[in-house]
Amino acid sequence: MKSQDDLAQAEEDLKQAETDLAAAKKLEEAAERTIETAIHDIREAEEHRPDAHHVAVEIATTSGFYPKDHPDRLPITQPVVEELERAAKALELTDTTGWVASVDKRTIDPKLSYAQNRLEGCVVIDWGPAEGGGGA
Amino acid sequence: MRRYRLGPGRRRRGRLSSMHALASQALFAAQTAQINERIATIRGWIINELAFPVIDLTFTAAGRTPLRLAARCEDWNSQPPSFALLSVDGTRLRTEGAPKEISPNPTNVFNAGAHPITGFPFICSAGSREYHTHTSHTNDPWESYRSGSGYDLGGILTRYWHAWLKGTA
């Protein structure tokens, strides 16, 4: 009689162990997915991080920001105008003749590179039309 | 700035017809959709109100007395916005003295004198209703600008902001 009870208990324990194992596997899979996401985020952040040779650039306009989600990591030797042209295309800005680019309210020269404009690190370029003439 | 399909109304006897009210509201919404806290923070703007037909912004900068602009955009863009120049608390700037909110004013975009129609200081540059209705500028109609680069709502605000910043040391 005792051995039958032991067998029943052992079968119950086995069932419980199998349930626990299945739950643990699900947790392990979820943890792996979390790790994968974290690694992806870290790599993506590293891809856009500035360094001695790169700047992280965003273009700000009243029609929106470019890029939409994260700054572009660009060589400091690249002329600013290249990113402005990409922004104009993405934001559907049809005519930017006479627009002014500035960083922290300091006007920059788009024909020059980031380095030549003394820009480094994370850079937000404010871009829009210059003031018109005034006077009555 | 970004172009939208809503264009000028039909001409009737040499005059522009008014934009339909719903079309005007839709164009306003499209052109102000990206004027938000993100761009405002970068520029030092405070958005007091932004809902058709009103754009109420305050320009701020270190070392300057803030300038508040309240634009009314009914009939946009058949007509340019009408701008009231205000102090930060919403009081309309008066013509007495030189309001510090628009001093210095190296571009002359802000006129501290009395506008012939409103009697208040005004924005004297293309894109404001007060400019195009001023007796000195009736030969420079809004129609010449309304489809031009940088004369959407964001562009006009940016132009006046740039003009205001020019007075900042």
B48 inside domain = yes
Per-residue pLDDT at B16: 53
Q: For residues A123 and A5, which has the higher predicted lDDT (pLDDT)? A: A123
B3 inside domain = no
Q: How many domains does one find in chain B? A: 1
Q: Domain coordinates of chain A in residue numbers?
A: 1-47, 54-129
CATH code, B79: 3.10.110
B116 inside domain = yes
CB contact under 8 A, B125 and A132: yes
B142 inside domain = yes
Q: Mind listing the pLDDT tens digit for each residue in B77-111?
A: 999 999 999 999 999 999 988 899 999 999 999 99
CB contact under 8 A, B159 and A98: no
Q: Where are the alpha helices (DSSP H) in chain A?
A: 2-47, 80-90
**pTM, 2 dp:** 0.81
- Sign of the Cα torsion A103, A93, B57, B105 reads positive
The residue of chain A with its CA nearest to that of B165 is A105
In angstroms, the CA B148 to CA B70 distance is 23
B56 inside domain = yes
In angstroms, the CA A100 to CA A109 distance is 9
A54-129 has which fold? Ubiquitin-like (UB roll) (3.10.20)
Per-residue pLDDT at B6: 42
For residue A106, which residues of chain B lie inside 8 Å, CB to CB? none
Q: What is the largest CA-CA distance in chain B?
A: 50
CB contact under 8 A, B149 and A98: yes
How far, CA to CA in Å, does B67 sit from each of B62, B72, B84, B96?
12, 16, 11, 17
The residue of chain B with its CA nearest to that of A89 is B2
Q: Which domain holds residue B113?
A: 17-165
